[in-house]
Structure 1
Amino acid sequence: MDKDTVVKIAAVFWIIFGSFLCSSSWGADVFKTFKMPTAFTLPTRIVIDKADTVWFIESNLNKIGRFQPAKGVFSEHHIPTPSSAPSDITTSNTGKVWFTESNSNQIGVLDPVSLTFKEYDVPTVASEPSRIASDLKGNIWFTEFYGNKIGMFDPRKEVFREYPIPTPASRPEGIIVDKKGMVWFLESESNKLAQLNPKDGAIHEFELPNPHETPRDLAIDGSGALWFGGHIGRNLMTFNPVTKKFKSFLLPSNGAIEGLTVGIDGKIFCTLLTSSKIAVFDPVTRAFLELDAGVGKSKPKGIDADSRGDVWFVDMDKDTLIKMDAGMVTKLWIK
């Protein structure tokens, strides 16, 4: 068999294989879609608890949604304050569901057993609480987008503490707490990553390597490395807290990273708001894989991983919750 014949056979193989990967039947194996019970919910942020129950924000209906995968059942729960504009959601070490209410300037909590709410007024007026996280002690941390502060709420004492950010009008967004109790957050307007030490309240800021990234979401992997992406810039970035160094990885497409999470295998899963895709990044090989989030126009938003390794995200345009089979995604990598 001559060289030209070998090349032709290889070309035909890759055309057929590429078509197979893009086929609807293959996509159906990767994604499973659950339609929300109420129309026009506009789901945004999402979190998965220890029981693998999926909680999400229904931004248009002022509700917290719940999906129990084992039962295949949705339920919806009205936030007490009307038009509160819930903006982010997390769970604490007690299993309770916490969320920010940007319009009503509150943080709220939903008891997953009694399904009852409590709400607390943020001390700074018109602070617009944005993103939220919980530490290992159960303290609740959140960013104050217009207040230019980091807020902390102790659920045991029901008291707040606020930490002013050194850079004026920094517009803090994504927030997360590492295993050592250090609080990390993004400054979307001042283009910085910052660390807050709860022991002394000291805040250290780190300039991002690329200008005008406007990062929004923040995740942390098993090694303690921080991951985030540009919302205007087109980079996935990581920061090593030990070396204090950044690394940037240019996205293959023109998508803006809306949300991201770390899978149990260490891969980074991102929703790409402007390109209707899900991006998967392997930190070992530094390779990207991008998948269409669905057929037609799509707007994937919040994303999280469950204990089995599957990845869940919401589609704001289609009012759907989607499960992504991480095992099937692994098979898509061309090695």
Structure 2
Amino acid sequence: MIITRRILAMVFIIPIILGLIIGTQLIDNSNNDLKEEIQDSCNLRYENNNRYIKEYVIPSKCSAPVAITIDSEGIVWFIENNHSKIASYNPEENSFNEVIISEVYSDIQSWSMIAVDDDIWFTDHRNNFIWRYMKSENIFEHYILPTENAYPVQIINMEDKIIVSEIFGKKIAILDKNKLSSNTSNGINEITPEIDLEVLGGIATDNEGRIWFTMLTWPIEGHLGNYKDGKFTSYKLPEGISSPVGIAIKDNNIWINDHGSSQFVLFNLENNTYTKFVTSASKSDFTTTLPYWNKFDKNGNIWMNIHQSNTIAKFDIANQILIEYDIPTKNFDWGGISNPLQFDIDNQGNIWFTEWTENKIAVLDAQKALEFTIETSTREIHMNKNELKEITLIIEPKDRIMANIKSSGTFTINGLLENVSITFEQIDNEFDTIQEIPILIKTENLEVGIYTIMISVESQEITQSIPIKLIIK
């Protein structure tokens, strides 16, 4: 049983940390000019841009960036994991700068960072530290997590506290900014969830001062928990949500990404109900898309990096539409993805993200108008377990476009359809006028329950999906 549980834990962790484990082994072929002889040299990276996303190649080769944040001045910060440096990019000046973090500690690698006032805080899972970079003084301090090999994976700010999620430590570290002392554990208190868990996931806070966190428990179950004033509360997540990571909270709604499937889920605190969603079918070599981290923008939309579909996505909560933006770099040595492992949102609402294997940072222009809009004739369908119904998909192009129609659903963890068929005729040619497409939905001995169908329209650079609630009586 112990071996089995360890294997399970690693199955959950591998998608999370595989990049960093291999990151130290990125090929360095800077002295080899024969491009055709190099299968995947991280030295050979070029900017690939599209209508919505612009990439920037990091000057230091093979830097393996993951953690990223933006400060109040609009400067983009990230950690060069292979070089143990903190780096910044100034969008106005189009310039990079980098600073060595320490002359004493090496192999500094970070999964998460935040900008708080004039400081940059970041995790270091290799040395089991939390680092603080005081920009104006150009000084670094580090604080030692009390639990050995804790593997800090996310860091957030909460008034005068810094909150850290420890994957392997299975604890939440609370750092009191006023009591911290460099190179010690002073001012750090760790709390342990009152549940038998395998690994801890993401963390978030709400307006009532509660710390919320995601968990994987035995046997293969996802859980949600919160903590305040010494009291823990836990909730079991729906079936199929077994590797919850990203968590974001707004207006009594908790959004959770499952990094073991193609699904994300909404938990309504007012009525204790769950609503499952799924991404569109992946364009990469992977059938499971792995939604990762999530954050709200100032307009109330929730953004996420969808790891194995190689997209940055926005779920427009008000209009209930998922918009997935294709990242222009597709590394086919990695299954057609660029490993977008972390992101942040600037003051203008633009999305900055890292591409770990590609030695790049990139920005998504969230203000740029979409090339088409979509709608359906209904957002909710009631059906029997064996029935046929028709709805209409409306596509309104802003320019002349070529588009494909796709479908997915919460019937399986990777969004594939099961006990239901969705049929339609594809649009074979480019078009610039409104299209109304009949969509036939046929249930085939589908069990009683509530499901979500995603009807998607995919162009070359974006995919838009409308969730339709399917209620089987």
| TM-score (norm. length: structure 1) | 0.84
CA distance in 2, matches of 1:295, 1:124: 39
Question: 1:132, CA displacement in angstroms?
Answer: 1.0
Partner of 2:351: 311
**8 Å contact from structure 1 (residues 219, 227) kept in 2:** yes
**8 Å contact from structure 2 (residues 294, 302) kept in 1:** yes
Question: 1:317, CA displacement in angstroms?
Answer: 2.2
Does 2:292 match 1:258? yes
Does 2:171 match 1:140? no
Partner of 1:182: 210
Does 2:103 match 1:72? no
The residue type paired with residue 54 of structure 1 is V
The residue type paired with residue 303 of structure 1 is F
Q: Secondary structure at the match of 2:150?
A: coil
Question: 1:155, CA displacement in angstroms?
Answer: 1.4
CA gap of 1:329–1:226, structure 2 versus 1, over 3 A, is: farther
Partner of 1:165: 193
**8 Å contact from structure 2 (residues 115, 121) kept in 1:** yes
**8 Å contact from structure 2 (residues 222, 243) kept in 1:** yes
The residue type paired with residue 56 of structure 2 is F
CA distance in 1, matches of 2:74, 2:160: 19
Cα displacement string for residues 180-207 of structure 1 (whole angstroms, at most 9, x for unaligned residues): 322111114551121111xx22121111
CA distance in 2, matches of 1:85, 1:163: 24
Question: 1:139, CA displacement in angstroms?
Answer: 0.6
**8 Å contact from structure 1 (residues 62, 83) kept in 2:** yes
Q: Secondary structure at the match of 1:29?
A: coil
Q: Percent identity?
A: 25
Residue from 71, 81, 89 that aligns with 2:113: 89
Question: 1:212, CA displacement in angstroms?
Answer: 4.7
**8 Å contact from structure 2 (residues 301, 316) kept in 1:** yes
**8 Å contact from structure 2 (residues 197, 216) kept in 1:** no
| TM-score (norm. length: structure 2) | 0.60
The residue type paired with residue 79 of structure 1 is I
Question: 1:55, CA displacement in angstroms?
Answer: 1.6
**8 Å contact from structure 1 (residues 30, 329) kept in 2:** no
CA distance in 2, matches of 1:104, 1:184: 26
Question: 1:293, CA displacement in angstroms?
Answer: 0.4
Partner of 1:106: 129
Partner of 1:282: 316
CA distance in 2, matches of 1:249, 1:316: 27
Does 2:172 match 1:150? yes
**8 Å contact from structure 2 (residues 227, 233) kept in 1:** yes
Partner of 2:253: 225
CA distance in 2, matches of 1:33, 1:54: 13
Question: 1:224, CA displacement in angstroms?
Answer: 4.8
**8 Å contact from structure 1 (residues 66, 74) kept in 2:** yes
CA distance in 2, matches of 1:283, 1:264: 12
Cα displacement string for residues 239-278 of structure 1 (whole angstroms, at most 9, x for unaligned residues): 2333333221111124111232222222222222112222
Does 2:227 match 1:196? yes
CA distance in 2, matches of 1:280, 1:87: 22
**8 Å contact from structure 1 (residues 88, 130) kept in 2:** yes
CA distance in 1, matches of 2:304, 2:324: 9
**Residues 40-49 or 237-246, more deviating:** 237-246
Question: 1:329, CA displacement in angstroms?
Answer: 5.1
CA gap of 1:30–1:161, structure 2 versus 1, over 3 A, is: same
Does 2:355 match 1:326? no
CA gap of 1:179–1:113, structure 2 versus 1, over 3 A, is: farther
Q: Secondary structure at the match of 2:325?
A: strand
**8 Å contact from structure 2 (residues 165, 172) kept in 1:** yes
CA distance in 2, matches of 1:240, 1:51: 35
CA gap of 1:212–1:242, structure 2 versus 1, over 3 A, is: closer
CA distance in 2, matches of 1:195, 1:107: 23
Question: 1:331, CA displacement in angstroms?
Answer: 5.3
**8 Å contact from structure 2 (residues 89, 95) kept in 1:** yes
CA gap of 1:325–1:112, structure 2 versus 1, over 3 A, is: same
Gaps of 5+ in 1: 1-26
Cα displacement string for residues 207-242 of structure 1 (whole angstroms, at most 9, x for unaligned residues): 111335312222234x35322211112112222333
CA distance in 1, matches of 2:372, 2:207: 32
CA gap of 1:313–1:188, structure 2 versus 1, over 3 A, is: farther
Question: 1:43, CA displacement in angstroms?
Answer: 1.1
CA distance in 1, matches of 2:358, 2:369: 22
CA distance in 1, matches of 2:70, 2:210: 22
Q: Secondary structure at the match of 1:274?
A: helix
CA distance in 2, matches of 1:143, 1:116: 25
**8 Å contact from structure 1 (residues 231, 256) kept in 2:** yes
